[in-house]
Structures are given as structure tokens and as C-alpha cells.
Chains A and B, each alone.
Chain A
Amino acid sequence: MILIPGRSNKQGTSLNAGKLKDEYRTVTSTVEVNADDMARLKLKDGDRVRLRSAHGETVVQCKSRKAADLPAGVLFIAYGPPSSQLMGHDTAGSGMPLSKHIEVEVEPVSVASPV
């Protein structure tokens, strides 16, 4: 699937409160998933998933978004430490790592699984 890290209102307000605080950590650890994809993967809001890219992996909780707002196969997450784990460092001579449109595998994580 394609992961799009980006800004959100909650990310903006919570980073002002403090980037080491729980609210910011929670906001940046929640991935939005197309509702049809959620059903296909047998996920419900609050379930944990492992996102794995070619460069790293992270475990976040998921939240459903209706198909009209988020196309199938596309995920959205607020910028933060979890999304940074998935970025590669190759900038192709530009200075900019590819920070959006990151190809990831999504794997449900059971409560008992290690993170």
C-alpha cells in the first residue's frame, strides 16, 4: 500500500504542547486506512498494525476513513517519529528523502505479538 505522511490539525496542536507528550505520540502513531481495506484486512478502529517499508518498520494503531476521502490502497499518517522510521535516506542528489508515497506492507499485529 502507499503511505502518505502529512500534516493534520491534531498533529499541529499537539506538537505545540510538546513532542515528547502522550498526545503527540498518539496522534503520530495512528494510521488512517480506507474502510474497504480495513474490512479486507479484518481490522477495526484501534487495532495495531505493523507497517514495513524497504527501509524500516513501525507499529501503529489504525483508524478507518471512508472510501470517498481516502482511496483504496492509500494510507495517511501524521508526520512524526513512526513515519520517519519508514523513510529511506537516499535523496537522489536533492537533499530531500522521499517522505510521502512510501510503499509499505501492512500486517495486523495481535495483542500478544511483540512490537
Chain B
Amino acid sequence: MSENTRLVENATCTFCGCVCDDMDLTVDLDARRITKAKNACVLGRAWFSEHTVEDRPFALIEGKPATTEEGVEAAAQILAKARFPIIYGLSDTTCEAQRQAVAIGDMIRGTVDTTTSVCHGPSGIAFQGVGESTATLGEIKNRADLVVYWGGNPAESHPRHFTRYAVTPKGMYVPNGKKDRTVVLVDVRRTPSAPVADIFVQVKPGKDFEVLWTLRALVKGRRVDPSVEECTGVPLTTLEDLAQRMKSCRYGVLFFGMGLTMTRGRHFNSGAVLALATDLNQYTHFVAKPVRGHGNVTGADNVVSWQTGYPFGVNFSRGYPRFNPGEFTTVDALARGDTDAALIIASDPASNFPRAAVEHLRCIPVIALDPKPSDTTQLARVAFTTATYGINTGGTVYRMDDVPVTLRPAFESPYPSDEQILTAIKERVAELLAEKSASARKVA
């Protein structure tokens, strides 16, 4: 390590939705890498140590090295010519970049979708149908005495969720931390999160909705047949005990994960959680929060919502925003073969999507922005190397509880930010569309 170091205090980790903003980073400015990340979890340490400045071309056009400017020109030409383009990803970039992406989508009358559609998109649908009894993580830390995790494994996906927000920290009305809280884990397998829980409820795969609906009945004092155990794998006595704990706590929270949204039932599962929380407010204070994965996926929901009125899967082809999951969500649009160009920002659908969607991605011009190579950058016609948000760039991200956090970059990157590239693409697309419009007027 060189002697040319810098300490960045209270920096923010943008790896997961916890968005912990108490990182103390030691930066080797000569090597342009973070050598120590105090307070970071195992995932955060990897995030900070592995995001260095790699020696890669600024852009690749059809696999050949190019400048950023050449990449912008090629990308703008693709987008300006497309008839049903899609803009996807956006959960690992800043709100400022997300805003530029939405502006491009509006300009080219395309579709704007984010990784939310394959994450908590079903919860977004459920929010619209059922509503959300919500809180910040700060409120939960200070007040919650019953914490239920359902269909998630924070010990591995959000390691500091327990220690910073919901299980062990001492709060205003829970002064003894974990001793003042009861922690419940509901899942189909005993994950590494189970040792944290006072009560572990193991559900048969695919039976979460049935368990949630049974709890709703029990909370309302309805009689439930003991055969529910045969269906769900959970004894009725366990559910009666849980329902009673939920009704009698001072402040309860249901954190729910993709064990609910990615399985049969999808938005009905999320809706059942939200409805249970609503029911419980007849007896006590209860909230429900989705546990969000990527560092700024919550920002993506917020930015797309405040710009278009809808959180994801938004189409501008008629000149105004329309929301229709199943039609304007990326997996569907690709698998149907509708999309004729894709702008992918900080995401890797070529690795994560079903085969039919990936096969169509291989058939259309793809523009990808990513700090690191991936399956998606490899199939892209235009691939930009970008600076890493939060490490090399400032900006704003939203924590999973919709609290905005300002980023403190650690060191500069020679590569441009997503926001810079998207702004340049937007400006060039505007010129191309204006030229197209002018020549159409001449013909007329």
C-alpha cells in the first residue's frame, strides 16, 4: 500500500438495499483502490475491495475498442431508429442517472423497466391493491418489539439488517436490544438466518399464502381446522401462538423477501402480508416492509414513480406513460420478441433471465453500461465501461425504507458515470429525432 492514502468517513455502501452509511474507508490513492472498509459486512468488504479501476476500453462497439464518444453515437443511432426499445436495469446506479434514463425512454417512446419487475415487482402490484402500512428502519429500530422475517435470508443477503436496524440495536423503546425483541423467521428451509430467530416456522414450499391467510383468520378470531398442518407443514398451535404474539406486541414489523414474490402466488403473497399488517392495526401498531436487494432499487421505484406515475414496466409508445406488468415488463417483452433494441444499465439480464428472453436479447442491438464485464456486456453491440456508483461517483440513492442518502465517493475513476453517458446519449438522440422530424416535414 502506498503512503498516499485518504480516509473517507461516513461513506455509503451501495451493494445492498441496507445502504449502510457509516463506512470508514481507507483509500490507496496511487493504486486507486479501497484497502479497508471499517464497519462493512462481508458483502460490503467485497464490494469495496473488488471495485478498483480495471484496465478496460472505455467502450466496445461490436467487440472492438472505441471511445466513449463513439459509443454514445452508436448507442444514439440504435435508440433513435428503434420502434419498440426497452430501457432496463437501473437498480445499481444513482437517482440522477435513473432520471436521465426515464427522459430517454420518454423521448424515444420506449419502455422503461427496472430490476424491480423481477424482484419486488409483485409487491409493487400489491401496494396498489392493498396499500402499505409502512415505517422507516429508524422507527423500527427504536420501537419494534416483534420482528418477523418472511421468505428471506438476511444473514446472507443483507448481513447488517439484524445488527444495524432490526434485531440487536438498542432503541428508544427497546433499550435492551435483542432482549426486548422477539424475532420470528418464516421460511421453507433452515437458513443461516435461523439462529438469530427466537421462533423458526418452517413452511412447505409454495404454501406461504395459505399460512398468511390462516394467520389473518386467527387474528380475527375465526376457527381454523387443524388440518391446516397437513397443507402447510405448520401446526395450528404454532400459528395460534404467532397470531397471539402479533396481536399483543407493542409494535410489530413484517419484513418480507423474494421467497414470497418469486413463487407461485407472487403479488397475492405480498398482498397477504400487507393485508395481515393492516388487520393487525386493529389491535396494535404493525408495519410491513419488503427487504430490497440492490443498492438503489428503491431509488429506481421512486424516480420512475415520480417521473411517470408508475414504479416499473412503464411504456411511452402513445406519448404518455402506461403501466401494465406482463406487457411492459422486460422478461415478457423480450420473450414475446416485441423488443427491437435494449438499453441495459447496471444489470445483467443475459445471466439472470429465462432462456427465451436471453435468446431474443441476442437477436437485437443491445447497449450495456456496467463497471465490470458480464454476460450482458459480452452480447451487447455497444458496451460502456462506467465508474462505480458510490465508490467513484456521488449522487443520491434510496435505502430500502425510501430514505434518500447522499453518496460520498472514495476516489476518481477515469471512466464516466452512468449519468454522464446517459445524458450524452439523451442529447444526441434528441438531435437525431429532431433531424428525423425535420426531414419528415420536408417530405410532407
Contact = CB atoms under 8 A, between A and B. Distances in A.
Interface string B327-366: 1011110010000000000001001111111100000000
Interface string B295-310: 0000000000000000
Contacts of A6: 153, 157, 258-259
Given A74-B189, A76-B189, A9 B326 contact: no
How many chain B residues sit at the interface, stated as a range, is 35 or more
Interface residues of A, number: 41
B373 A100 contact: no
A71 B378 CA distance: 38
Contacts of B61: none
B71 interface: no
B266 A101 contact: no
A56 B356 CA distance: 10
Interface stretch (A39-47, A86-94, A104-112): A86-94
B262 A18 contact: no
A32 to B, nearest CB: 9
Contacts of A56: 355
A101 B374 contact: no
Given A12-B43, A91-B331, A91-B332, A98 B262 contact: yes
A19 B189 contact: no
A55 B51 CA distance: 35
B406 interface: no
Contact of B375 (A70, A81, A92, A96): A81
Interface in A46-97: 55-56, 68-71, 74, 76, 79-81, 84-85, 87-89, 91-97
B261 interface: yes
B372 interface: yes
Nearest to A81: B351
A7 B119 CA distance: 12
Contacts of B261: 96
Given A95-B325, A99-B262, 4 more contacts: A12-B15, A20-B373, A69-B190, A96-B121
Closest 9 CB pairs of A and B: A95-B329, A93-B326, A89-B335, A13-B46, A95-B117, A95-B325, A89-B354, A16-B50, A16-B46
Interface of A: 2, 4, 6-9, 12-14, 16-20, 55-56, 68-71, 74, 76, 79-81, 84-85, 87-89, 91-101
